[in-house]
Structure 1
Amino acid sequence: MSSSKTTMATRLQSALASLDGTLQMRFLGIGFVWAWIYCSFETSALYPERQGIGINADPSWLASAATVATALFATGIVWRNRDLARMHWAHFAAPALVALGTVSSAVATLAESPLTALQCASGAMSGLGSGWLCILWASALSRLDIEQIEVVVPAASFVTLLCSLVFPHIEGIPGVIAVASLPLASGILLSMSFRQTKHKKHTLPTTDQTDSIDRDCLTVIIRASAVLCVAYFAIGSLGAMSDAENPLQAQWGFDVPTFIGSASGIAMALCFILFTVRIDFASLFRWLTPLLVLALALFPWKAAAPNFVSSAIASVADTSMQVITYLYVIGLAKRRRLPVSLGVGVTQGAVQLGVLTGNLSGNKMSEWVATGSLSMLTLTLALICLLSFAVLLVPQRSSRPSSAAREASSCPKASRIELLCNQLSQENGLSARETEILGYLARGRSQPYIREELMLSKNTVATHVKHLYQKLNVHSRQELLDLFEER
């Protein structure tokens, strides 16, 4: 009994050590950028007159939203062939601009007579800085292993989740200081992340730089960005037309739809990563489109329950799309198909453009609905039709021949590896799929590579590898390779 407890404790300690090595706080800094967006424009922390989940299109918000969309598109193009790890001035300037813009915007808005010029200038500063931070963080994360990225990016969303519990209760000077501290924390973590990865040895150029851009890949990104823009247009329209404060928020004291929606979005993103065959936009919108349609269909009902479900679904969609978009673009960059700056700049620029146009349109449509010029049913039907037609642009995955098969015909060692795999398979009772995966592992391929080649989910590949190790009585990749060397 004691040995069993010791073994279990050892395994738990090993698992915690592995998680600590993968999930390091410094890599969660992108979550502070997402949290800043939420706390600035969807809570009353920075602007006391803003309550709940509604966004007011005042000069500071309008300047920030317009600037961030422009900055993402332009910076993604200009920085596409630069090594962002060496741009130390940007590591400092980006968070400083956001923090300075946040404080200036609060000062301009809280003055006895609002200073419109300062509001616009502060919004432009925060928009430019936040756009730079998004691209810089994508570059920093792209230097990690795929397995680590798939843990870090969803985990970063927990920052917004925690902020939804705290920031609705903060106002005045404490609120301004708290919101302004978020981009500064992100900037500090960004510098720490670049510092940790700068000494890492790369066999290829950094993901910020590629010899050429895959035209087909760029087409996929543009089409997906158009769909993201429409999806966020719909979400932005709902946000602009929503009540200033959700009834549940007034009763429970925190942003309930955002909290539940963000938590569910994180869970769905993790399930997507673990069980989907391939992380791409086709897989994402296959299950996300019905949810968005449901959110739009429930919106016309003004009862508390349908309104709550609609808001929660919008939060689920927002969290899921942000996480999966970052993972997909970074994955393309690591496969040398697209500079990470360009991919993130285009996709996130489209997201912000959708948010901007959606909120402006939502404000105008609210006036039409209030005057009776437009019925809510007609508006909802139009948004559903727009989203449904936009989904037709979602790029479908294309089948391609396995590169392992090409390598097998050209690599002299392939025949020996195949013979050893077949021998081990017969001796240890491996299944056909396990034998196939053993061949990839023997050639030094990683699990993400195997997933891509065999079109299997992360969970499926991990399960096969676990069974392989058990049947062959090895505990690590190195022990497996040693087993081949001994024969």
Structure 2
Amino acid sequence: MFDREIKEFVPLRQLGWAFLLAWVFCVFYTNAAGGAETGIVEGERPFGLALYYAALPLAASVATLGTIVIAEPHVGAPTTHRQLIVIAPVLTAISTPLMLIAPADPTLAAVLFAAGSVTTGVGSALMWVMWGEYYAVISRDRAELLAPASAVSAALLVLLVSAMGGWVSTAVTSMFPLLSGLCFKLVWTPHAAQAETHLARANRAAPHASAHQPLAGLGRTGLGIMAVFAIVSIAGMMYEGRLDGTPLQVILIFSALMMALVAVMAVSGPRRISMFFLYRWMCPTLVVGLAALILFGESGGIIAVAASLGGRFTFCLIAQIYFANYACAGRATPAQASSLGWLFVHAGDLLGVVTWLALQPTMVTSEGLTWLSVGAIVALVTVTMLVMGEHSTFLRAPEQSSPAADFPSVAFEATNDEDPVPEAPTTNAKPETPSSQADVRPTEDHIAELASTGALTPRETEVFALLAQGRSIPYIRDELIISRETAATHAKHIYAKLGVHSRQELIDLVRS
């Protein structure tokens, strides 16, 4: 098993999301890329000007992502326009220096920053969505290996850039979107495009027509994401100085280790990566960072920044997987799901920046900092309680209404340097329609009869019912909240008791 997982990482192009993640952290979340000061933390600019520099890039991204959500049913996903796969990374790369250079003329500086903000906002938003589409059409197992590996790689890339200086760091950072775009062009094969088309078409054909109401399945999760990211954003600005050099590098190493630990804990456990898993890890980390401000005042700000940066990295990798699953569950098309995910993330960032700038005049005293930290902790706990109680945010859609179930060839695996091949077994050359699947869906009585004949245990009967519907071991693991090894062991016992040797033979037995 371990050797197989290592081989899956041989095509490093699949880690191309790491370059995009590293770019956004270098340009927006750290001082790794250098460049002009915005004065958000130091209070060197008046409110209006500080808001201009802080909010414009985020507003451009939010506007682009919102446009994609609305326009996708009419004009198609970004990946359906092949020229965007080239235009988006090039546009982002050539515009990045405009945000980082600082001309002496303030008017010229403002104009260049505006041009860079709008173009990078549009280009990077398109890239976020395209990588989200890729994660939606690969298997969950692969996504849960690639996303943490990409996030850890991104932290190490930011660490590398932070050790550089001057124009070198700016030049390297500007190359990241190009490298990410190149990787995406290599992984977005015709098979991947076909899989995305099938998944989007299945979603639009579903009875609940969620493609026209992509927010309907989010429940309170979307607002929870936005609120928590606003708190993360505020925590990251509670440090007066410019964070660079050794302190920044130590925090980046902490972030990489945190993500690696979260990934190992998730992959080795039965629940795997989920939004609940996110809150379980992020809340204690953020509370510790905010508590440091309460206990130590301004000197605890660096701990809050560490908690914020680690939380951002972890949040990004989990959001990438969560909204890919959101698409696979039939809640929205892949492009809409990814757009919604990053829309809430960037909107939360924007909310946090505006809140911080509005409250910054009260932060001149340690008492004001303490009250803001207490308020952030209360808000964090409240949002967590609301989201943790929202069971509809889990993406195990009803069996009859999940387009992903009706299109088993949507997910694909990429092995070594070969083209992707279908992951789930199917005897048809093309995906079946929901109606044709319903005609051959096994009945509960027939399943119960076969289970009784084979002397299956109650748990084996549950696994048997899912296998009979063509479900994979990862799906069964998540549906029954058991480990992958336990699900595989149950499947092995079922095959032996029923005298079959593969899932297809089992399905044929049930349908006979």
TM interval, short-chain normalised: 0.7 to 0.9
Q: In 2 relative to 1, CA 336–102 (structure 1 residues): closer, same or farther, beyond 3 Å?
A: same
2:366 is equivalent to residue 379 of structure 1 = no
Aligned twin of 1:9: none
One of 314, 334, 340 as aligned partner of 2:334: 340
Aligned twin of 1:463: 486
In the alignment, is the contact (CA less than 8 A) between 1:279 and 1:324 conserved in 2?
yes
Shift of 1:128: 1.3
The residue identity in structure 2 corresponding to 1:25 is L
2:59 is equivalent to residue 66 of structure 1 = yes
Residue by residue, what CA displacement relative to the aligned partner does 1:42-63 show, whole Å, maximum 9, x if unpaired? 4444335669x97995855542
**Aligned counterparts of 1:40 and 1:415: Cα–Cα separation in 2:** 59
The residue identity in structure 2 corresponding to 1:133 is M
One of 210, 215, 219 as aligned partner of 1:218: 215
The residue identity in structure 2 corresponding to 1:231 is V
Aligned twin of 1:20: 7
One of 88, 92, 95 as aligned partner of 2:82: 88
* Aligned partner of residue 242 in structure 1, secondary structure: coil
Shift of 1:325: 2.1
**Aligned counterparts of 1:116 and 1:188: Cα–Cα separation in 2:** 31
Q: What does 1:232-381 correspond to in 2, within 5 Å?
A: 232-245=229-242, 250=245, 252=246, 254-272=248-266, 274-275=268-269, 277=271, 280-302=274-296, 306-370=300-364, 372=365, 375-381=368-374
**Aligned counterparts of 1:265 and 1:96: Cα–Cα separation in 2:** 29
Aligned twin of 2:167: 173
Q: In 2 relative to 1, CA 486–283 (structure 1 residues): closer, same or farther, beyond 3 Å?
A: closer
Aligned length: 457
**Aligned counterparts of 1:45 and 1:278: Cα–Cα separation in 2:** 32
* Greater Cα shift, 410-419 or 96-105: 410-419
Aligned twin of 2:19: 32
**Aligned counterparts of 1:484 and 1:349: Cα–Cα separation in 2:** 41
In the alignment, is the contact (CA less than 8 A) between 2:35 and 2:99 conserved in 1?
no
In the alignment, is the contact (CA less than 8 A) between 1:438 and 1:468 conserved in 2?
yes
One of 455, 462, 472 as aligned partner of 1:436: 462
In the alignment, is the contact (CA less than 8 A) between 1:142 and 1:207 conserved in 2?
no
**Aligned counterparts of 1:202 and 1:136: Cα–Cα separation in 2:** 11
The residue identity in structure 2 corresponding to 1:337 is R
Shift of 1:307: 4.5
One of 178, 181, 193 as aligned partner of 1:184: 178
- Scaled by the length of structure 2, the TM-score of the pair is 0.76
**Aligned counterparts of 1:462 and 1:333: Cα–Cα separation in 2:** 26
In the alignment, is the contact (CA less than 8 A) between 1:42 and 1:55 conserved in 2?
no
Shift of 1:253: 6.8
Among all aligned residue pairs of Structure 1 and Structure 2, give the percentage whose two residues are the same amino acid. 21
Q: In 2 relative to 1, CA 214–396 (structure 1 residues): closer, same or farther, beyond 3 Å?
A: farther
Shift of 1:133: 0.9
* Greater Cα shift, 32-41 or 443-452: 443-452
**Aligned counterparts of 2:68 and 2:214: Cα–Cα separation in 1:** 19
Q: In 2 relative to 1, CA 146–65 (structure 1 residues): closer, same or farther, beyond 3 Å?
A: same
* Greater Cα shift, 119-128 or 326-335: 326-335
* Greater Cα shift, 207-216 or 254-263: 207-216
Shift of 1:162: 0.9
Unaligned runs of 5+ in 1: 1-13
**Aligned counterparts of 1:483 and 1:348: Cα–Cα separation in 2:** 41
Shift of 1:417: 5.5
The residue identity in structure 2 corresponding to 1:74 is T
Q: In 2 relative to 1, CA 132–60 (structure 1 residues): closer, same or farther, beyond 3 Å?
A: farther
In the alignment, is the contact (CA less than 8 A) between 1:232 and 1:354 conserved in 2?
yes
**Aligned counterparts of 1:472 and 1:209: Cα–Cα separation in 2:** 33
* Greater Cα shift, 113-122 or 389-398: 389-398
Residue by residue, what CA displacement relative to the aligned partner does 1:211-248 show, whole Å, maximum 9, x if unpaired? 311799724426222122221211211222214355xx
The residue identity in structure 2 corresponding to 1:150 is E
Q: In 2 relative to 1, CA 309–273 (structure 1 residues): closer, same or farther, beyond 3 Å?
A: farther
One of 93, 96, 99 as aligned partner of 1:102: 96
* Aligned partner of residue 47 in structure 1, secondary structure: coil
Shift of 1:331: 1.1
Q: In 2 relative to 1, CA 38–373 (structure 1 residues): closer, same or farther, beyond 3 Å?
A: closer
Residue by residue, what CA displacement relative to the aligned partner does 1:414-445 show, whole Å, maximum 9, x if unpaired? 66665555555x5xxx7542343244324432
The residue identity in structure 2 corresponding to 1:271 is M
* Greater Cα shift, 92-101 or 219-228: 219-228
Aligned twin of 2:420: none
Aligned twin of 1:162: 156
Residue by residue, what CA displacement relative to the aligned partner does 1:22-67 show, whole Å, maximum 9, x if unpaired? 674222222221110111134444335669x979958555421221
* Aligned partner of residue 375 in structure 1, secondary structure: helix
**Aligned counterparts of 1:470 and 1:96: Cα–Cα separation in 2:** 53
One of 72, 76, 79 as aligned partner of 2:72: 79
Q: In 2 relative to 1, CA 330–106 (structure 1 residues): closer, same or farther, beyond 3 Å?
A: same
Q: What does 1:399-438 correspond to in 2, within 5 Å?
A: 403=399, 411=441, 418-424=448-454, 426=455, 431-438=457-464
**Aligned counterparts of 2:397 and 2:122: Cα–Cα separation in 1:** 43
Q: What does 1:441-460 correspond to in 2, within 5 Å?
A: 441-454=467-480, 456-457=481-482, 460=483
- RMSD of equivalent CA atoms: 3.9
Q: In 2 relative to 1, CA 239–205 (structure 1 residues): closer, same or farther, beyond 3 Å?
A: closer
Q: In 2 relative to 1, CA 316–273 (structure 1 residues): closer, same or farther, beyond 3 Å?
A: farther
